[in-house]
Amino acid sequence: MRLAETEYRVMKQIWANEGITAKELAEALRVRVGWSKTTTYTVISRCMQKNYIRREDPKFHCYSLISREQVAEAETDALISNNFDDRPDLLVASLLGRKKLTAAQMAELYALVEKMDDEA
C-alpha cells in the first residue's frame, strides 16, 4: 500500500518506536515537522481507519500493522510500473549506470543474484 506523505511521517515514527503513545508521537512530530497536536491526531486516526495502526489503551499506544518492507515494496512496484515500463531490470540498470551503488553494495547484489540462480 502506498502512503501519503503525512501518513508516512507518522509511520516512520512508529516503526522507530513501536508502542509510542499518541501524545509522544504528537510531540515528536511537532519538533520535526511543526504539526499541531490536532493535526497529528487527525493523521493517526486516518491511519487507523486504513488499518495501518493498531491502538492499545489505556494510554493510546500505537503499534504498526504494516511493515516498512510492505510499504517499500508497494512503492517500488509503482516506481517500476510508472517509470520503467514494468521492467525491474531497467531499474537496476539505471541504478548501476548512474553509479548509485558502492563497490560493497554491488558485490552484495552480485552474491544475491548468484544465490537466486542456484535456487532457480
Partner 1 sequence: MISTLLGMSARGGVMIAVVALLRAALQHRVRRDVWLAAWAIAALRLLAPFSLRSPVSIYNLLRPAAAQVIPVAPVSVQAAIPGAPAVRGPEPLAILWLVGALALALVCLCLHLRSLRRYRFSVPCDPGMALPPRVRVRRLEGLSAPLTYGLFRPVILLPANLAEDSQDLTHILQHELAHIRHWDVGWKLLMLVTLAVHWFNPLVWGMTWLVSQDLEMRCDAEAVRALGDGAKKAYAWTLIRAEEQKLASFLQPGFAHSGTAGRIRALARGRSSAVCSAVLAVLLCLLLLFCFATERVLASPPPAADPAPAQVIAPAPIPAAVPEETPEPVSVPEPEEAAVPEPAPVLIPADEPEPEPEPVPEPEPEPVPEAEPGPEPEAAVEFKQLETLPLAVYAPGAMSMAEGETITVSVGTGWVELYSDNPGAVQAGGVYDAGGVFVSSFTAGREGSANIYYNQDGAWLLFAAVSVHP
Give me the residues that bind partner 1 (CB under 8 A), please.
Answer: 4-6, 9, 33-36, 38-39, 43
d(CA 100, CA 62): 35
As given in the structure block, the three cell numbers for residue 5 are 506523505
Q: What are phi and psi of 108, to 5 degrees?
A: -60, -45
Strand partners, 56: 61
Nearer to partner 1, 25 or 43 (CB): 43
Nearer to partner 1, 27 or 61 (CB): 27
Whole-number minimum distance, CB 88 to partner 1, in Å?
23
Whole-number minimum distance, CB 74 to partner 1, in Å?
16
Nearer to partner 1, 30 or 61 (CB): 30
d(CA 102, CA 114): 18
Grouping H, G, I as helix, E, B as strand and the rest as coil, residue 18 is coil
Whole-number minimum distance, CB 35 to partner 1, in Å?
7
